[in-house]
Amino acid sequence: MTSTGSVVESVEAGNATVSLGNVRRTYYLGEPVHALDGVSLDLPDGSFTAVMGPSGSGKSTLMNMVGCLDTPDEGTVHVEGRNVTALSGSERAQLRGTELGFIFQQFNLMPRLTAAENVTLPLVFNDAVDVDRRERAETLLSRVGLGDRLDHAPPELSGGQRQRVAIARALVNEPSLVLADEPTGNLDTGTGAEIMDIFAELHAAGRTILMVTHERHIAEHAERIVHLVDGQIQEIEQLDSGAHTGGSQ
Amino acid sequence: MKVTESFRISWRAITGHKLRSGLTTLGIIIGVGSVIVFMVLGGAFEQNIAQEIEEGNDEPGMWVHTQQADSGFGDSPFVRAKFFTDSDVAALESIDTVEFVAPSARFPVAQLTHDGHQRTGGFAVEATTPERLEGDVVEGDTFAAEDEIVLSKEATDLVEGGLSVGDEVEISFDGAGSGTFTVVGIVEPTSTGGNSLVPTAGYVSLSNYETTIETPDGNQERAYRDLIVAAESSEVLDQAQQDTLEYLRSDSDAAQLKEDEHVLKAQTVDDAIDQVGDIVDQLTVFIGGIAGISLVVGSIGIANIMIVSVTERTRDIGVMKAVGARKRDVIQLFLVESVILGAIGALLGVLVGLGFGYLGVSVIGWPMVLPTDWILIAVFIGVTVGVLSGLYPAWRGAKVDPIEALRHE
Ligand SMILES: Nc1ncnc2c1ncn2[C@@H]1O[C@H](COP(=O)(O)OP(=O)(O)OP(=O)(O)O)[C@@H](O)[C@H]1O
Ligand SMILES: [Mg+2]
């Protein structure tokens, strides 16, 4: 989990949680739109990667590709050593349920379920996991500072609290990879900083993280920043691995 | 995904929209409710008639009458013409398995007058023989002369001031003249008057009965519309019925006097009960059809709400898929929801139907019969309607693209 600072492409697929090989995704609306135009990227185990770029540059498309929600028109996607393009829809769903954790800009909690039930929602679709859900939810919500909000419904929580519930949900299946698309996009600066502290803890605990943001100071919590422009990687910027501790106070 | 999990989540969705869910199930409630009401009433009616027929006929026997030939639709009407002659009565009585034959000779009463007080219609007087009088004479004696009448106990208060032994009554019959009779006795009948809806007020001598017909042999004989043929015992009832029909269809005067399209029948109590059952069954099919229509309407209602529900929760579906829900999980979730709606509708319909049905039978005074099989059928139908109306919405939900759904503003 140490940042080597070397060229990312050289990391072997075996050590990478995620490996994209020359991925293309094109939308045809009259003219073809190349949302991703030949992207190759590895996410090494335990790495923390931020993605930045102008609106429409393909950040969310990249996210969906890594998150096994989308499949490429061309190229290869490997997640946890599995060839995603070869998987069926329900196999990809199972992969998401067991290996991935999603955090969204709009939190995306189920409005009729309590915080605790939202946290354990992924386990509902995963019959194999047999744990005390209540206990699991309590542990995770306490870890994000919401130990006293287990039975609150999402409408009764503030934006920052909702995002903490969403983070707890993303961690409930002990995922190897956490994906976050603009996790602080709907939060004020202070609350955003608190959320980034939690990300720092996750990173310290060895989780692989991929985070989309358009805010430089948020991106600086990561080890490196992938700059996307028009569906292509323009630059991979290596950050001083200590930078995030200094930048988050 | 465990079914219990989908119940928990679906139940949240349903209770989250109580009014909407309630209105949605209304069609099913009405459909199932009306079936159950009808089944309670129909069952009670059948049971009541069966009880009455059985109570009024503690002696094994059959009702011999003429009916229009079977048209193929429902029950053919009875023939009112009188074809059974005294010779037929005598011949039937000579059959070994037959105990006696009672010709029914009822006169509908137009008016009964006593001491200036009058009572108009609604009852009948039966011409019979003292031996055939079904009941216990509780006061006075049975009739001996042509101008004597034995009143049934309920008839004693037909006119103001009441009637008792020794009174003179003047009776005018519907289209059959009139006569003055002396009340000689009061009888507590054991029979409610066979299959007639009009109560029997009294009994007079058969000699009052004057309808005659020319027999095939050229004689004038009294003729009757129908006969009660009593069997020697219930063990030989079937045999008696066979023997009676055999005689009627071959040698009887009635066979020759009746029209070609008429059929001679000998109906036992069991036959009569079966027939009531048949009528109720036919009505059941009819009511079933109406209920079927309202169930179709109800299931369209559920399907409609489920489509709305899927559309509203597009984003939720996207979230669920992102966190690992497969297509079949989404289908299961929405199917369970519509099945819950259908089953709740059916259960409420059963309760409402039982309530109204119970109210109905207690007002009429019939026995309450729980239509157990129909309750089970109703619940089964509710679940089926739920599944059918949930299929398309669930499939739409399963098809939601999580990427699109999550982009949903
Ligand atoms: N479903 C779609 N149909 C057609 N075009 C699409 C679709 N999804 C994305 N695109 C196009 O692909 C390109 C990349 O979209 P994407 O959502 O990945 O951008 P983004 O970098 O996340 O932008 P933003 O910062 O605004 O979220 C855009 O030009 C977009 O219009
Ligand atoms: Mg985006």
Q: What is the pLDDT of residues A72-118, one digit of tens each?
A: 999 999 999 899 999 999 999 999 999 999 999 899 999 889 999 99
- Does the residue B57 lie in any domain? no
Which of residues 268 through 327 in chain B touch A, CB cutoff 8 A?
A: 315-316, 318-327
Whether A33 is in the pocket of ligand 1, judged by its Cβ within 6 Å, is: yes
- Does the residue B372 lie in any domain? yes
The whole-angstrom separation of Cα B117 and Cα B169 is 10
What's B308-328 look like in SS3?
HHHHHCHHHHHHHHHCCCCHH
Contact with chain B for residue A121, Cβ under 8 A: yes
Residue B193's pLDDT is 47
Q: Are residues B201 and B88 in the same domain?
A: yes
Whether A60 is in the pocket of ligand 1, judged by its Cβ within 6 Å, is: yes
Residue B191's pLDDT is 57
- Does the residue B322 lie in any domain? yes
Q: Looking at chain B, which residue has its C-alpha nearest residue A96?
A: B324
Residue B407 CA, ligand 2 centroid: distance in Å: 9
Contact with chain A for residue B330, Cβ under 8 A: no
Residue A45 CA, ligand 2 centroid: distance in Å: 24
- Does the residue B144 lie in any domain? yes
The whole-angstrom separation of Cα A26 and Cα A58 is 10
- Does the residue B101 lie in any domain? yes
Count each helix (H run) and each strand (E run) in chain A, helices first. Answer: 9, 10
Could you please state the CATH topology (level 3) that the domain comprising A44-67+88-238 is classified under: Rossmann fold (3.40.50)
> Of B222, B257, B292, which one is at a domain's C-terminal end?
B257
Q: Are residues B120 and B208 in the same domain?
A: yes
**pLDDT top residue among A95 and A12:** A95
- Does the residue B379 lie in any domain? yes
Q: Which helix (H) or strand (E) holds B267?
A: strand B262-268
Q: What is the mean pLDDT of each run of 10 residues along chain B (409 residues)?
A: 88 90 90 88 82 69 81 66 86 87 81 85 82 78 86 82 85 79 85 60 82 84 85 86 88 84 82 80 81 84 92 93 94 94 93 93 86 87 90 95 84
Segment A197-222, tens digit of pLDDT: 999 999 999 999 999 999 999 999 99
Q: Are residues B136 and B176 in the same domain?
A: yes
Residue A165's pLDDT is 96
The whole-angstrom separation of Cα B370 and Cα B355 is 11
**Closest Cα to atom 2, ligand 1: which residue?**
A27
Whether A67 is in the pocket of ligand 1, judged by its Cβ within 6 Å, is: no
- Taking contacts as CB-CB distances below 8 angstroms, the residues of chain B near A67 are 322
**From A24, A27, A51, A63, mutation site for ligand 1 pocket: most ligand atoms within 8 A of C-beta:** A27
Which of residues 5 through 64 in chain B touch A, CB cutoff 8 A?
A: 5, 9, 12-13, 16
Q: Compute and round to an integer the Cα radius of gyration of chain A.
A: 18
Spacing of C-alpha B296 from chain mean position: 27
Please give, rounded to a whole number of angstroms, the shortest distance from the CA of A153 to a CA of chain B. Answer: 12
Residue A44's pLDDT is 95
Asked if residue B253 lies in contact with residue B88, where contact means CB atoms within 8 angstroms, the answer is yes
Whether A29 is in the pocket of ligand 1, judged by its Cβ within 6 Å, is: yes
Where in the sequence is the domain holding B85, given as residue range(s)?
80-257
Residue A246's pLDDT is 38
**Hey, which bits of B71-167 come out as E strands?**
84-85, 98-114, 117-120, 124-128, 135-140, 148-152
The A224-229 sheet, strands edge to edge: A100-103, A177-181, A208-212, A48-52, A224-229, A232-238
- Taking contacts as CB-CB distances below 8 angstroms, the residues of chain A near B323 are 96-97, 102, 121-122, 125, 169
- Taking contacts as CB-CB distances below 8 angstroms, the residues of chain A near B328 are 90
- Contact flag A173-B324 (C-beta cutoff 8 Å): yes
Q: Are residues B115 and B233 in the same domain?
A: yes
Number of CB pairs < 8 Å for A and B? Answer: 68
Segment A141-198, tens digit of pLDDT: 998 899 999 999 999 999 999 999 999 999 999 898 999 999 998 889 988 998 999 9
Please give, rounded to a whole number of angstroms, the shortest distance from the CA of B23 to a CA of chain A. Answer: 21
Neighbours of B34 (CB within 10 A): 18
- Contact flag A94-B327 (C-beta cutoff 8 Å): no
Indicate the number of domains in chain B: 2
Q: Are residues B102 and B235 in the same domain?
A: yes
Residue with tokens 């489509």: B307
Whether A147 is in the pocket of ligand 1, judged by its Cβ within 6 Å, is: no
**From A24, A57, A104, mutation site for ligand 1 pocket: most ligand atoms within 8 A of C-beta:** A57
Whether A213 is in the pocket of ligand 1, judged by its Cβ within 6 Å, is: no
> Of B257, B289, B307, which one is at a domain's C-terminal end?
B257
Q: Are residues B93 and B24 in the same domain?
A: no
Q: Are residues B29 and B99 in the same domain?
A: no
Question: Of ligand 1's atoms, which has the minimum distance to the CA of residue A28?
Answer: 4
Q: Are residues B318 and B396 in the same domain?
A: yes
CA distances from B382 to B31, B369, B391 (A): 10, 22, 14
Q: Looking at chain A, which residue has its C-alpha nearest residue B332?
A: A125
- Taking contacts as CB-CB distances below 8 angstroms, the residues of chain A near B2 are 124, 127
* ipTM score: 0.88
- Taking contacts as CB-CB distances below 8 angstroms, the residues of chain B near A94 are 324, 326
Residue B190's pLDDT is 67
Q: Are residues B15 and B106 in the same domain?
A: no
The whole-angstrom separation of Cα A178 and Cα B151 is 98
Q: Are residues B155 and B39 in the same domain?
A: no
Q: Are residues B106 and B20 in the same domain?
A: no
Residue B73's pLDDT is 54
Whether A128 is in the pocket of ligand 1, judged by its Cβ within 6 Å, is: no
Hey, of A60, A70, A108, A174, which one would you mutate to test binding to chain B, going by the most B CBs within 10 A of its CB? A108
> Which has the closest alpha carbon to A187: A154, A164, A220, A219?
A164
Percentages of chain B per state (helix, strand, coil), in multiples of 5: 55, 25, 25
Q: Are residues B140 and B34 in the same domain?
A: no
Contact with chain B for residue A108, Cβ under 8 A: yes
**Closest Cα to atom 27, ligand 1: which residue?**
A55
- Taking contacts as CB-CB distances below 8 angstroms, the residues of chain A near B315 are 108
Residue B79 C-beta-side C-alpha neighbours within 13 Å: 23
Residue B160's pLDDT is 80
Residue A56 CA, ligand 1 centroid: distance in Å: 5
- Does the residue B135 lie in any domain? yes
- The whole-number average pLDDT for the span A65-76 is 95
- Does the residue B303 lie in any domain? yes
The answer on pLDDT for A10 being more than 50 is: no
